[in-house]
Chain A
Amino acid sequence: MMAKRQVLILAMTLCFLPSAFAYLDPGSGSYILQMIIAGVLGGFYAIKLYWNKIINFIKGNSNDSDSEDDLGNE
């Protein structure tokens, strides 16, 4: 019962979190441009990922390039 209540409180908290406030003006043009190019550049990136997966499969390499460490190794 207690656990259910905690889950409910957590869910409600997440629902009513204040929306993030941006202090920068992102610019309408910049937002609209992102919507337009996201499809193309996101698509290219997805193709690249699948291509890498195929190459890795052929080479017998199990590395998943989408789970790469974006910051690289120190």
Chain B
Amino acid sequence: MNRLPSSFRDPSGFIFKHEGRIMRQIQHKAETDYELLMSSGLYELLVEKKALIPHEEVENVNPDAYKTILPQQLDFISYPYEWSFEQLKDAALLTLRVQLTALKKGLSLKDASAYNVQFVNGKAMLIDTLSFERYEEGSPWVAYRQFCQHFYAPLLLASIKDIRLNHLFHSYIDGIPLDLASKLLPWKTRFNLSIASHIHWHAKAQGKHANKAEDTKKKAQVSSSGLRGILKNLESSILKLSWEPGETEWGDYYNNTNYSEEAHKAKFVLVKKYIDLIKPETLWDLGANDGTFSKIAADQKIPTIAFDIDPIAVNQNYRKVKEEKQKHMLPLMLDLTNPSPALGWAHKERDSLEQRGPAGCIMALALVHHLAISNNLPLEMIAEYFSKLGQHLIIEFVPKTDSKVKILLATREDIFPEYTEVGFEDAFSTYFDLMEKSKVEGSERTLYCFKSK
């Protein structure tokens, strides 16, 4: 049995891989809670609303198990530090609403981890079937602190302070410590009842009662209406949060590409042709901007991930995915020059980008000049890493004569003698076999279709 190293926190069960499929073993101690989830009507309701991952019960692989379930299989696991603001907001609202619904059915979420949410067919969905336990009238919410650390604090910091504070998720695997959030948030937030309660007073209460051996679990009593009040207050506060970047901060890059309408169309046709040629099972578009070209694959029902470094582009793309009910595209944030690392205990709780690959095909359109010239990356190193990320590669070479590259070189010395079409082909031929290449009509750029060696 291949137990996943990330699945160790909750003794109710664990995830394992068997015959290429991800399964969940339920331990005997979780029998009561699991059966209550299934018999109370909560499972059926949540699955119908696409709020919880559906599963089927299968024969036990391990005879010690109480039961084994086979959940709907996911193409890709993403992490909160890769989500845009609105993705994190939707994941937070989902968690709260699942908890509100569960309480009505006599159950409660025993954890509220952002890592328990995934985006499936364009929608946030809870993927941990064993997160539910019987609700005891009068009990406080055991996952309240985790919810504030995983959702409320990072959303407030991103919305009120700076979107880049989402990177704190890299350092704090169990969410942003509330005392840190309290310090980082502006003073005026102490006059907002919700923020004062759930962050500032919460951080103070934690500090005051830390390292004291108090058995508050038995003494603490919160009525169900009081608990609902707390949850509804969190919900209404989160609903009001938004992130609208100022124009001057990020500019208007996305409406200002280097393509004439004719060249854009030609590039579109070529990309489609290469995707049709490769027919990949999955596609990662690196530097996807707002997903214009990723959509070619997603429209063909190819599970597609549209990565970009810019939180505006990713947020815009996510909005579009929701509006268009696009089921096959997942927009995510990624700085390719510093991609998501392996994190957690023994570096095995959260996989790096490379560990989650390779994709059937990766696309790198209008990207190579940013990597090679802005980031000084030798072409051969780019080719090597790309060959690890994808089995095929659709890549655009942008020559020095292109106005975008001229801008990059305008303020610095040209230390890139190898940055030529010949140099590019040499570097990539070490790791890839050329399938096809073609000039993009109406531009100076060339599009290549490669197969990894």
Contact = CB atoms under 8 A, between A and B. Distances in A.
B46 interface: yes
Contact of B230 (A18, A24, A29, A38): A38
A20 B134 contact: yes
B284 interface: no
Interface string B122-135: 00000000000110
Nearest to A34: B140
Given A17-B134, A71-B97, A71-B101, A30 B229 contact: no
A71 B134 contact: no
B101 A37 contact: no
Interface residues of B, number: 58
B209 A26 contact: no
Given A27-B209, A30-B205, A35-B221, A41 B197 contact: yes
A44 interface: yes
Nearest to A47: B229
B143 A37 contact: no
B229 A26 contact: no
Interface in A17-59: 17-24, 26-46
B261 interface: no
Interface string B206-234: 11111010101100111101111110110
Contacts of B146: 24
B225 A27 contact: no
Contacts of B209: 27-29, 32
Interface residues of A, number: 33
B229 A42 contact: yes
A42 B223 contact: yes
B12 A23 contact: yes
B310 interface: no
With most chain B CB atoms within 10 A of its CB, the pick from A40, A44, A71 is A71
Contacts of A37: 197, 201, 230
Interface in B10-48: 10-12, 29, 32-33, 45-46, 48
Contact of A30 (B50, B133, B206, B223): B206
B202 interface: yes
B312 interface: no
A20 B33 contact: yes
A10 B223 CA distance: 25
Nearest to B224: A42
Interface of A: 17-24, 26-46, 70-72, 74
Interface of B: 9-12, 29, 32-33, 45-46, 48-51, 97-98, 100-101, 104, 108, 110-111, 133-134, 136, 140-146, 193, 197, 201-202, 204-210, 212, 214, 216-217, 220-223, 225-230, 232-233
Given A20-B33, A21-B11, A22-B133, 8 more contacts: A23-B10, A26-B144, A27-B145, A28-B214, A30-B145, A41-B230, A42-B225, A45-B233
A-B interface, 5 closest residue pairs, ranked by CB to CB distance from nearest: A38-B226, A42-B229, A42-B226, A29-B205, A29-B206
28 contacts: A17-B134, A20-B134, A21-B11, A21-B29, A23-B9, A23-B10, A23-B12, A24-B111, A24-B143, A26-B217, A28-B210, A29-B207, A29-B208, A29-B209, A32-B216, A35-B220, A35-B222, A37-B197, A38-B227, A41-B232, A42-B226, A42-B230, A45-B229, A71-B45, A71-B49, A71-B97, A72-B97, A74-B48
